[in-house]
Amino acid sequence: MLQPRIPVNPLPTGTPNSLNHPAPAPAAPAPLVPARTTVQLTPGSALALAAGGGAVVLVVGTVLVSMLLAVAITGVSVALIAVVLRLLVRDMQKGR
């Protein structure tokens, strides 16, 4: 009852079956492509690459430091609000 059954689905008449007819071989071999290209850096391009990398490091560092500062300011604010609320609740319980 719970055994899997594989449905029989024959191909319709007139439809080519790619399993019976392999693809034809290419007429001409593909041209050979070098495995790896070499990049030569001139002193000017090396300097530009170093300056670009330094700029990226500075920008990413600035963003990360500003995010850390925002989290720190938020944490201090929440802690200060918690202290003020605690004092207000204590004063309300004492009946002042």
- Rounded to an integer, the average pLDDT of 54-81 is 97
Q: Which residues does 41 contact at the CB level (< 8 Å), separation at least 6? A: 49
Give residue-wise pLDDT tens across range 5-50. 776 766 666 555 555 556 666 677 667 766 777 778 888 999 999 9
Cα separation of 30 and 32, whole Å?
Answer: 6
Q: Minimal CA–CA distance to 11: which of 19, 22, 1?
A: 19
C-alpha to C-alpha distances, 56 to 39, 45, 46, 69, nearest whole angstrom: 22, 16, 15, 20
pTM score above 0.95? no
